[in-house]
A and B are shown apart, each in its own frame.
Chain A
Amino acid sequence: MIFLTVGTQFPFDRLLKAVDDALAEVSFGEEIFAQTGESSYVPRNFKVTPFIDRGSFDKYISQASSVISHAGMGTIAAVLGYGKPMLVMPRQRKYGEVVNDHQLAIARKLEMSGHILVAYESRDLAGKMNQLKTFIPCERNSQHQAVADRIARFLVEISNKQAAK
């Protein structure tokens, strides 16, 4: 199963239609299941559900062979955490999908470092879906502990200053 998700906050019909159109041309030999949020596009070639809870979201990712999604950081973090192959389509400002192009910027970076595949435009999607079948993402080492430690040190300074007052 390929898990397709667009997040919960905004619609993303461009991605749903691109995947649907790609499936009309080529068979990928696998079923697609989609979480579509506020989107209005009704696909012909796969099943959808608007919202799923957190537990099911994690379950779908862990059971999927690969994931296709918007370039939302919540989803990317979850998928990288499971080490699954991932193809993202960034939401773009020029299409009125977001207020700035942060999804485009992070998608480019993670594509360059070999962590994800990216389809910037609808016409790229079918080709990238083909690559996704054999794509093996580079392992990612998060430095979240170093950042947490920096915050902990700052909080010690604050509480020492308060105690000195």
Chain B
Amino acid sequence: MPKCVKICLVASAGGHLTQLLRLESGWNGHSTFCVTTSNVVQEKLQKYRKVHVVGECNRQHLLKVLLVSIRCIRIILKERPDVIISTGAAVGCIMCFLGKVTGAKIVWVDSITNVNKLSLSGRLVWHIADLFLSQWQQLAEQYKNIEYAGKII
């Protein structure tokens, strides 16, 4: 059995989180904690020992982005994950960049809704990701270092 790594799972409430949770068997046997955006989804995450709720933010509300980023910095410094796995959106992007700075490996699974082009978050994280998966073959072929492994939904 390989050594257990500490994984931070990040997804915004809604479809991003639904997609992330379908990949659960991928991190079997590793230690995990979650970061999400809303208390509404606590029920879905019951089986995870630790869940951090940081609030919603997007590029239209930069003050909120700042506030959420500060919460994310605290989480990164406290938890020190080895790997960040995210399906987006903005909060996933923020956690990936902060994790990269502290030496974590970055896994980004781009949402199935990004059919013809990457989202803004995806485009940014593409520069720093160690594993970047798109759910559309044609989109994966347009970029260096993007893999297609199938559709989650």
Q: Which A residues have a C-beta under 8 Å from some C-beta of B? A: 7-9, 51, 53-55, 72-78, 80, 99-100, 102-103, 105-106, 108-109, 140, 142-152, 154-156, 158-160, 162-163
Q: Is the CB of B23 within 8 A of A147?
A: yes
B111-145 interface code vs A (CB 8 A; 1 in, 0 out): 11111100110000000001101010000000000
Q: How far is the CB of A142 from chain B (nearest CB, A)?
A: 6
B26 adjacent to A152 (CB under 8 Å)? yes
Total count of chain B residues near the partner, CB < 8 A: 53
Q: Which chain B residue has the least Cβ–Cβ distance from A162?
A: B3
Task: Evaluate contact between A74 and B5: CB separation under 8 angstroms.
Answer: no
Q: CB distance B115 to A109 under 8 Å?
A: yes
Given contacts A54-B44, A147-B26, A152-B26, contact A9 B14 (CB under 8 A): yes
Asked if B91 is at the interface (CB within 8 A of a chain A CB), the reply is no
A interface SS class: helix
Task: Evaluate contact between B60 and A99: CB separation under 8 angstroms.
Answer: yes
Q: Given A154-B107, A159-B3, A142–B22 Cβ distance below 8 Å?
A: yes
Does B59 sit at the interface, judged by CB under 8 A? yes
User: With an 8 A cutoff between CB atoms, is B105 at the interface?
Assistant: yes
Residues in A with CB closer than 8 Å to B111 are 73, 102
Which one, A9, A100, A142, contacts B120 given CB within 8 A?
A100
The answer to whether A158 and B82 have CB atoms under 8 Å apart is yes
In the assembled complex, the Cα of A108 lies from the Cα of B113 at a distance in Å of: 10
List the 5 closest pairs (A to B, CB-CB), nearest first.
A73-B15, A143-B150, A151-B26, A148-B26, A159-B2
